[in-house]
Each structure stands twice: as structure tokens, then as C-alpha cells.
Amino acid sequence: MLLDCVVVGGGPAGLNAALVLGRAKKKIILFDENKPRNAVTHESHGFITRDKIKPSEFKQIALEDLKAYPEITIKNQRVYDIKTENNHFVILTSDGLTYQSRKIILATGLKDILPNIKGIHDYYGTSIFSCPFCDGWELKDRPLVVISENERAFHITKMIYNWSKDVVVCTNGKAVFTNEQKQLLANNNIELIEEEIEYLEGDKGQLRHIILKSGREIARAGGFVTAGLQQASPLAQVLGCSLNNMGGIETDNSGRTNIAGVYACGDNAVIAPAQLIVAAAEGSKAAMAVVGDLVNEDF
């Protein structure tokens, strides 16, 4: 059977794309291996009507919504490969089966690559985060650390200062600030620490101290890190989709990639701002583009 569309990825982008496609009577399968980027967090913020929701509960509600639409099938499988064949796509999944579809939506998300600092994974998603719009409120007015080894250090530090005036910045041995930026940090009483970090110390996900190589201990109640970002799936490259200089899949305003019939939405294309509500909206837009393109081809 030839499907109208295969959606790869069941985060907010893919789930909202599926909803729009199902409501447009399109026959689709959504494949999801269920390893979302925010799996490390207990609570999501900033999505109106869903503020403070558990990521697992958000997904459960979305899957319930999709049950109302009979043309939507959900499969908990990884898509391994997608090939182009005579004007349609052949999709290979982890159950060893192949599927055929006219259109593909990639909603595969991103992976965070954290700095190589002992202990950081124990606190990422519980007291160390990457996006102040997502988690700044929960850490407001507390003693915070910004950990950044790259050129985003100054920007993130300025942003975090909006939520707390008690901020230190650790570059873990890297020199990433200009003299002018250093002066601005000093003017705002932000200590810059360029020494290497030995490890992070705390308990049950709660950061308590930054321990530097020199043995100095800095008490902190939480912080933010500039993570490296990578496509969570190689499918965009496999299909020949162009990436932009931030590593996001290049699309037009409706999610169409440079490969005819392939659309991308959510974190994998947007990169920033990375939020559930943005991903869901982009999923909706990509699905509308798919429906519009199918209608134009068939009318």
C-alpha cells in the first residue's frame, strides 16, 4: 500500500504533524523510537495549557488525541533508511519491514553534546539546563553557574543575568571572551573562571558545588550550559537534505527541504529557539504543506 506520508519522530513536531495530516484524511504512519531530547527532564515549561507538564504525560495526551483519527497509525520503530524509488519513498524500519510513501516528514529532533566534565550528566535536566526560557523561572534569583566552552558563552551569560544576578561563568580552561566582554562581565559583578573544572558535586540531580582543578569549591544551586547540537538521526543526510551552518535542516517557511517530497520540522530544522510549542507549530506547518502539495498533485 502506498501511504500519503510517513512521519519520522514522535516528539511535539511529529505528533502535531500527524494530527494535521489525520484531520486532512491522509493515510499516514508515524514511526517513533521514543528517545526525545528532553527525556532527561521531569517537567516542561512554557507551553500554554501545558505549563509544568511531565514530558511523558504530554506525549500520552498527544497519543490519545491522535486515536480519534483512523488514518493515523503509530509504530514504535526506528526508521533505518529511506530510499527514493519512482516518485515515492521506500522506508526501512527496525522491525525489518519496508513501507512506501509519497511524502516524508522528518521530525527527528536533536541530540545535546555536553562538555566533557565529570558529573555533568548527573545534573543535566534536573538542575543544569540549556534554555533559560524553558527553565530560567525555576532557577530565578539563585546562585547559578554558566558553563560554556564556546562562542555562545557571552550571549547565554547575559541572558541568565536576567533571571539571577548571582552568576559565575566557567569556561573549563577555554578562552572564549574578548577583553570588552570581560569588562562587561566585571561591570555586572559576574566572576569569570577560566580554570578547568575537576568535577561537579551534588546529590539526587541537585548541583551543589563546582570543584576546580586547583581544589577551589564554588557553591551553586544550578546552572546553564551551552551544549553542542547534533542531528539525532542521519536520515536528512541520507536523503541528501542540505543543512545550514548551525547544522539544522534547511527548509522553506513551510518545512519543504531541497529534496522534493521531503519535509522537516521541529528542533532538527529550527535549532533555536528549541521549545515544545515551536516544534509543534512547525510540525503543523509542515503537515499543511504536505497536504497542500498532495492536493495540487492530485487535483
Ligand X SMILES: Cc1cc2nc3c(=O)[nH]c(=O)nc-3n(C[C@H](O)[C@H](O)[C@H](O)COP(=O)(O)OP(=O)(O)OC[C@H]3O[C@@H](n4cnc5c(N)ncnc54)[C@H](O)[C@@H]3O)c2cc1C
**266 CB contacts (<8 Å, ≥6 apart)?**
9, 11, 12, 13, 14, 107, 108, 109, 279, 282, 283
User: In this chain, which of 19, 232, 236, 249 binds ligand X, going by CB under 6 A?
Assistant: 232
> Nearest distance from residue 188's CB to ligand X, in Å?
26
> Nearest distance from residue 251's CB to ligand X, in Å?
13
Q: Which residue bears the cell 545534573?
A: 123
> Nearest distance from residue 27's CB to ligand X, in Å?
19
Asked whether position 285 contacts ligand X by CB under 6 A, the answer is: no
Asked whether position 46 contacts ligand X by CB under 6 A, the answer is: yes
Distance CA 28, CA 280 (A): 17
User: In this chain, which of 3, 5, 14, 294 binds ligand X, going by CB under 6 A?
Assistant: 14
Asked whether position 233 contacts ligand X by CB under 6 A, the answer is: yes
C-alpha cell at 27: 493515510
Distance CA 199, CA 245 (A): 32
Residue 46 vs 261, nearer CB to ligand X: 46
Distance CA 287, CA 270 (A): 16
Q: Which residue bears the cell 511535539?
A: 12
Distance CA 170, CA 109 (A): 28
Asked whether position 129 contacts ligand X by CB under 6 A, the answer is: yes
Asked whether position 161 contacts ligand X by CB under 6 A, the answer is: no
Residue 41 vs 181, nearer CB to ligand X: 41
Amino acid at position 132, single letter: P
Residue 41 vs 73, nearer CB to ligand X: 41
111: phi then psi, degrees, rounded to nearest 5: -115, 135
Residue 163 vs 177, nearer CB to ligand X: 163
Q: Which residues bind ligand X (CB under 6 A)?
A: 8-14, 31-38, 40-41, 44-47, 78-79, 107-109, 112, 125, 129-131, 134-135, 232-233, 235, 266-268, 274-277, 279
